[in-house]
Structure formats: C-alpha cells, structure tokens
Structure 1
C-alpha cells in the first residue's frame, strides 16, 4: 500500500509496521582505521586524483602538520597552521590567500575540531576534496556541517561538499593528547549522539549508531584518564567518536547545540568544554519530552534512570570544569544568551520558553548538579 500524500503512513499500516516509516540519508566517506594509518596519506591523495595538497592545522599541532608534510613529499603544496577555535571568517580568509597562491587541489586537516573546521570552510568556498586526520574525539570530521563565527555570531550550515572524502583514524596520533582534552572532546562527541536520539528526524539506524557511540566513549574516556597511553582505550574512543559524529551527520540538532553555538560564538568559550558542561542540563531539561532518548542514554552508559547525573559525575571524575562560570562565562550575560538562543531557535522535543531556559542557563552557570526537581 502507498503512503498518504502528506507523508504519514497509509491507513492500512498498523502497529510496528507504521512505526518503521523513516528516512535515512547516509553520509559517504572513506574511513581508514588503525595504528599507523597516517602512513597511507600520500596514497589517499593520489586516489583522489590530486597532486597539490594544502595541510591545515593549529599552532599547537605544528609538529604533526610538519610530519605530514614530510610524509606527503612533493604532494605537499602548502602548509597553514593558523586554524583556531570556532572557525573565525578572518582566519579562513587568510587561509584562502595561501590556497590561491599555491595552486592547491585538495585539503588535509590534521588535529582537532579547529583544523577540521577550517578545512571545511575552505572546501565550502572552493569545492576541493578533503582528507581529515583527527587527533581528538569530537567527531566533526564525519559530518557535513560547518560552524563559522563572524562578528561575535556563530552560524551553521550543512552541505555535501563540507564532508571530508577520506578520514584517517590513526590511534598513534592521539597518544600525546592530554587526558583533559581527551575527556572534553569525547564528551562533546557524546553530546552529538544524545541529540541524535531525540532529533526531530531521528531514525532507527542513527539511534543504533548513537547508542553504541555513547557506550564506547562512556567507558573509554575513564580508562584514558587512568592511563593516557592505553592504546586499546584510545582506539575505542576513536571508534566512539566516529559513530557519534556519523549520527550527527545524518540527523538534525536541537537545544543543546544551539546553546553551545551561542556561548562559543558570542563569548568565545572553549568549544568542547562548553558542550561537556551544558550536556547534563539539556538532557535533564528534555527528559520528560524525550523519555525514549533518556532510556537509550541510560542503557549506553549503564547509568540508571537519570543519565544526566551520570554525565555530571563524569565531569567530576574526569577532572573537568562543571560550570559555565569556570569557563569564563560573563555573570551578567545569561539574559543575552537566552535571547540569542531563542532567535532562529532549533527544533527541540520540549518547547523552549525564556523563563525555563534562563533557569537551565543559571544552573549550568553555577554548576548545580542537575536533578529532576530543578523545575527547568
């Protein structure tokens, strides 16, 4: 039987059959996973049909960038190590000058979300193919989403050309990542998967991916904190980051990401730590409107019925800040933040009202442990 023209299941569909009506769009990327895989970089450039690569990284990852230039040999046309948090447009403009002057035909991002973000911004402007070599666990390397900041405002867009064509997960390159950065970038990835579980366009495939990503990161981050050179835990964290990023790349975002985009773009708060702090509060806020998602997070974390408490306790166990105050959020800007969140608001399973949003932001600012009786 055919579905109704308005997109709802045909009347003859009953029970579980009707529940299985969904749309799933797969993001296509070639994934290389395993220790030592960065050695394959030159071959991957050639497989793309390219000969002149621009390597993009941050000042902190300069050594990594230079080592990849050496791996590439004469395939390396240029190198730019000025990537920075929140992908400011003025930094992208400087990188574009380097790109134009070097006759580049592909992009290589080496490092965390800042390097990947800049590479995506360049790809969005040029259509050039990208190879991403992530060294953190944020997962943005497998999403077709670009967030850019200009004039204190962060905006996002989604397009196929923004997705890297190849991603190389080399666990050896993560061993130097400090435990604190490992923890915050991993919680950032978990936030992607949590929102995928209650996204407006969620579907069974993305939900399966999301739960397994949360499970993989929820356990491995604590192991990395105990022993930062645990290769098995590092590899499991990379696997989890890949899954969490993948599910974000296939469904939409909600209140959590909108809040973090405002806080990062407006106040330049650290990207991954902001996601880490905000996550427990938004999950608690949405708990009654997204009970299925809450159950999925609880299963993945083996946490009991209130996983927002487990996520808050993870911040403490991982030695991370537990409040927006600790991240440098201005005390007198909660009203401004609420107003900006409500402008062009993202869909959310629970309607977002200004007073309840202010209570959420206030609790996150103070770092009060989230609980069901907070009356967000």
Structure 2
C-alpha cells in the first residue's frame, strides 16, 4: 500500500531528484559476514582513555559471582552474574579464543563508545574485563530475555513495543550510530515491559559469539534489499534506512507470529531473491489501516522513501496508542509483550 506522506523534513524524498531506474541484475554473494559492517560508527582516537560509569569503573573481577548460564555459542558463553559488594545483577559475555593486541584495543575503543550510550531503550554496555586472556564484557541484564518467537497480535501492545524500538533507534541515529543487525533476537525485554536494543557487535568477534541465529543466514533474513544486492540504489547503502527496514520486518513478524517472507530463513538463496525481487511484505487486511500504513512506511524498497525513526514516532499507529493518548487512568498491559518462558540466548 502507498504510505501516508511523512512529516515535512529537510532533504525529504519529495525534494530529491528523481532517481534513474534500477539495474535489473541481481547478485547473490555467498552469505559471509563483512567485517566492515561489524563496527557501525566512527571510533575515537586510540589514546583516549576509556570512560565507564563510576558505579562499575573500578569493578574487580573477583567480586563477580556467576549465578547461572544464560546462553552459549561456539565462541563463548553469557552468564548471569552477581556483583557481591552492591548486590547488582549483570550479564557477562565471556569470549573464547586468543586475540591479538590490535583486536583487544579495538574492543576497548568500541566499549568506550558504547559505554557512553545512555538511553532507556538501549542495553547498557558497562565494562570490558581482560581476565587470564579471556575477553569479558559486562552488560546490563535483561531478565526476560529476547523477543524472538514472540507473537503480539494485540495492536496497542505492538504499538508500545514499536515505539520503544524507535525511541532507541532515534537516539542511536541522532548520535550517528547505526546498528545494522536489528532482529527479534537482538530486542530484549525485562519484567517491567521495557524493550531495549542489544548487540551492536562489539568487534566482529563479539558479534558472532553468542546467538546461534546470528549466523550470516539468520542476519540476511532482516537485511534490506539494497544491502543484499549492491546493484540497487547505485551501490549506496544508507545504514539508517537499513535499520528501519529491519525494524519493520521484525515488527511485522511479531504481529504475524511468523517470519513475514514466504521462504524459510535457512534457504538463503531463495530468501535473498525474495527480499530483493519480490514486493515487500504487507500487514494483512484484517489489521488496522494505521498498522498497514506503518509497515508500508518501513518496508519501502527505495530506501529514500522509508520514514526515519523520528518520522515514524509521529505516525498514527504510534501516536494513537501512546500512553498519553489512552488517558492517565488506563494502564497499559505491558505483560502482553513478555515472551513465553523458555531458555534464551540473549547477550544482556
């Protein structure tokens, strides 16, 4: 469906020159992770000292007590840990393998950047610990795990979830940070119903360690057409618009209770053809007009026509169900966002 016109903004698609027709060819590269995509933001000078929250900056590894294992993968394990002096709970990523000094320094610099991220809808990255040759990353703990496999047919609840994702993306994009791997397994929730974006990929090592669905095939499922097929959009990739596509696919998957493309995630060749050559998936006719239009605004094949996070936060699907729009006496059923009880492989 044709989406509503977005709120006026400088440099909007309406003011841009008409682009020439896309090249018809489709390239299908092997699904291998591009290391350049693992660090989606400029890095500070290597001489800059790390800055961590004062509450954990002086944290001693010996003060951490492993409570339970949250998840594991070929490259490492995530633990729920207790900081005994304060009684606070964290998630600790332990990354296996021997890493060169250059990789360790890169991780420290990236942790420094992510340590400065402070938003209610973004998982906090607190510290990096180099213990006995192991790289360990201390993260905010989300007690209800990821939203992977969650079915949310209730539109007000889905609107609240979408609003929280967009608030996190708006904050990141405003700070020139692109996530590049938005998908249900990277969206975490706690018992208060707060949804947070996780797993930026602290170095390509950290990005590939924990999540068994974080393989190149799993990631391709949520990639935008122009990222898979570099012939589209004249080889230019807008990471911000790519995050919006991935968010739209994820939100539609929550509503449907299944992946919105007709092909399975495991058939990567068919999946890439479906993403790049077929029409974008749409919300079903049984859903509200607002939701159908919201999804259409996210899943435009032309990245210049996708709404930004800022614009989507003003979309009727979001504003009609916002807490202030429902009235102060109406309590939102945040428990409807909680995923079913099951073991999870969340990173934080």
TM-score (structure 2 length as normaliser): 0.29
Q: Which has the higher contact order (CA 8 A, sep 6+)?
A: 2
Give the number of the structure whose residues are more often helix, by fraction. Answer: 1
